Amino acid sequence: MKLILLLLLALLTLFAGISIVSGGPGAVVINEVELNPPGDATEWVELYNNGEDAVDIGRWSVSIVEILPSSCRWTGSIPIPRGTTLQGNDFYVVEGDPRWVHAENGTVYLMTDAAIEVDKTPHLTDQEGNDFSWCRYPNGLDTDRRSDWAFIRSTPGAENSLRPVIGS
């Protein structure tokens, strides 16, 4: 009897795992981060809805938290306008403030309007000042591991790609 219960529990666990992987509403994740853009451009963060259903992200916020050389913390917050909806399998780019002056490193947080953490990146560093950024590859990959991220050519608002860009 004990063996049968253990087998049933194992099967239920297996089927629950399959249903989570194969369907469901998906999630909004931080998909790409530009901490040190070229020239006078501003930092930006790309969000991606890896589900099929639209998600109301209005009044959510993206925060970049950096450790400065003096060991102090700096935080830049980017609010998302009320009424903003992110469609399934689509991208949304939020831009930072051009007046921000800080280091080129940070952890990025995505928070709801109720201050609930939706997603966060590992600590990222970008000292290049070029058109490369930290990207989840493939889009929306979220295993909570640093290996989800690659430093590749920026593609704000579009699919992340490892293909070389001709003419660069």
Domains along the chain with CATH numbers: 27-153 (2.60.40.10)
Per-residue buried b or exposed e for 78-92, using 16+ beta carbons within 10 Å of the residue's own CB? bebeeebebeeeebb
Between 1-15, 54-68, 75-89, the lowest mean confidence (pLDDT) is in 1-15
Nearest of 58, 61, 89 to residue 75 by alpha carbon: 61
pLDDT value at 24 more than 50: no
Please report the pLDDT score of residue 32 as a whole number. Answer: 98
User: Where do the DSSP E strands lie in 105-157?
Assistant: 105-111, 117-120, 124-125, 132-136, 149-153
Global confidence as pTM: 0.81
Supply φ then ψ for residue 22, to 5 degrees: -90, -15
Please report the pLDDT score of residue 162 as a whole number. Answer: 87
pLDDT band at residue 19, thresholds of 50, 70 and 90? very low
